[in-house]
Structure 1
Amino acid sequence: MTSPLPSLFAVRVDELNRFVNDHGRLPNSQVGDTAEATLAKWCQAQRNRTEGRLGTMTDAEADALEAIPGWYWQAPDGSTVWKDRLAELQAFVLTHGDIPRRRGDTAAEKSLANWVRVQRAKKTNPETVGTLTVEQSDALEVIPGWWWSGQPTSTFKSAADDLLAWVKSTGTFPKEYTTDKEERRLASFVTRYRDSFRAGTLGRPQAEQLEAIPGWDWQIAPAEQWWDTLISVAAWVTENGRIPRGKCDDETERKFGRWCEHARRAAKPGSASTLKMTDTRRRALEAFIPGWYWSK
């Protein structure tokens, strides 16, 4: 017959079960919440008991702990723990549309916000720089609204409101190829959140706010694509020192070369191209692409 659990131990197990049911994870000793930190330290004390420290553990006590979802005796691999917290952060942002706050409404949000603070410190604090891997850094940077130091220049909502005001005022979406800093900022915002949507990391509340903007489209419009390609072609020409050829073995050069050929055809009188060669585009081709020519 299994021995009954000591009363104090049973009380702690009940507390631990409730915590895991409420938060979906084991308690963390590195949080600001005193109750959670105390419970986490109690968990570690029980693990120490299995190693011959702080007394011995009965089979009944071990069974009670092992019945708790996520319980472990040996700490899992650090990268696994990190990925679990990253998944929690992604889920939070998808649900709430923002990064968790240390003054949040729930203990779970505060705990997650503290983890976020630690990750930022690993990137920006001179004493801890280098402790965050490139892969971890990249994974954090694709989370909508992520920032490393200082304060975010604007929240998602305020940036989306600025974009809405811009569209209503100008009747068009901002473009990145302008000298206007505000327009470039808004264009960068559009690109970033389109990318997040395609990657599946954009929360529904954020998506709905963007979709409420007149003319919003998750796909890049043909006119926008033209300018994006122009920038890519200009970079290729700068790197390679020549205009790309439409007939060659290299796939990238061939694609850019055909785009250049299409641009020249579009400039001819009577062209049936769906993307007409406006004066603005003519000037951009001549200004951005070194060695550009209309005909040989």
Structure 2
Amino acid sequence: MDSYDAQWVRNIEAAREFYERTGRMPRLAGGQDTDPHERRLGRWLHNARTASRNPAAAMRWSAERESQLDALLPRWRDYGTEQASRRRWTARLAELATFLATEGRVPHETHDSIGRWLRAQRHAELSRVQSEAIESVLAGWATPPPGRWAARLDRVAQWSAQRGRLPRASAADRQERLDGLWLSQQRSRWRKQALSPMQVGALDESLPGWEHPDGRQRASTRA
């Protein structure tokens, strides 16, 4: 590997590190405050994009270099679309923050549009900056309610919907008593702040008033 090839690989690694740290590609021009290191990487990326559009005119361009970029820096081509994508993503994050502030609950992953977006983020390739940005708005967002826990909640919610009330831990019926005990455990964990925000949101959505044995709702979150 000659010195030019070695520098090429170092540039890819530096651009990848920059993206993972900031959530965006380096920019060629970003105002007087733009870091010189970013400007250098931005110019290098600009030249790479130009060469890919007209490879015959590029002195050191090759299919191998293009493959390296595709493999190690998949979004290297997307300067224009990246800016629009980042604006849309930031707008959705703001929408999530507004939802939490106005609704007082975590969005439902099926019924709420922003909830579906949040679910999609768990499976997306997010930068560290993006993950931390969501975490600052909704702590614990990356961990959905465990499957067994969620299945139990669904069963209790179906029981409650059929009968118009919450199950009681003192009930004579065995299944109602077990569900009532489970719900009582959730209240105890909630008071100890041992439930994740996602679990609290799921309970709020599926069992309004679950925090109280008589089913009354919290004025602070449901006003």
- TM-score scaled by structure 2? 0.45
User: Which structure's residues are more often helix, by fraction?
Assistant: 2
- Structure with greater contact order relative to length (CA < 8 Å, sep ≥ 6): 2
Which structure's CA Rg is the greater one? 1
